[in-house]
Amino acid sequence: SRTVITFGTFDVFHVGHLRVIERAAALGDRLVVGVSADQLNVSKKGREPVFSERERLEIVAALKPVDEVFVEESLDLKRDYILRYGADVLVMGDDWAGRFDEFGDICEVVYLPRTPAISTTALIEKISST
Ligand code: C2G
């Protein structure tokens, strides 16, 4: 059986998140999702997520295509996570294209096209301007 792993913040969960998760799941038999820790977000994006890691984890864990979730504590642990969860495929949206090619020695690396015109940042701007 084929295990797929993907990572993300999944803050203010939207259809772009759902679609990448559905397409990732379709590439294997079991989908494991690493949800970025709050602290990782502060260092990565310079702000706290709207929803806490516990809330984001709870939402992602409840999705039908998702078999297992964990907190992604650091971007530098990707190789460890791939090995720990026995992933055969690493899937990321193509905003990360090329960034994880180094893991091609232990798994297949796939970048999927992002859903156009939707992002958490755009949503936050839209909501705060109304
Ligand atoms: N995504 C998408 N379409 C959008 C928005 C997001 O396909 N319109 C995808 C991203 O490409 C990513 C996933 O949804 O694969 C999660 O996106 P983010 O929550 O923005 O994740 P990010 O903060 O980039 O975290 O280790 C990597 C990081 O933890 C990824």
Q: Which residues line ligand 1 (CB under 6 A)?
A: 7-10, 16-17, 20, 36, 72, 75, 92-93, 95, 114-115, 118-119
Q: What is the pLDDT of residue 26?
A: 98
The arrangement of strands across the sheet holding 3-8 comes to 68-72, 30-36, 3-8, 89-93, 108-112
Section 30-46 average pLDDT: 95
The residue whose CB lies within 8 Å of the most ligand 1 atoms, and thus the one to mutate among 114, 119, 126, is: 114
Determine the average pLDDT of the residues in 52-71.
98
Q: What pLDDT is attached to residue 44?
A: 85
Instruction: Encode 31-63: b = buried (16+ Cβ within 10 Å), e = exposed.
Output: bbbbbbbbebbeeeeeeebebebeebbebbeeb
Helices (H), 2-130: 15-25, 38-45, 53-61, 78-84, 120-128
Average pLDDT over residues 64-93: 98
pTM of the full predicted structure? 0.96
Q: What is the mean pLDDT of the chain?
A: 96
The whole-number average pLDDT for the span 12-27 is: 98
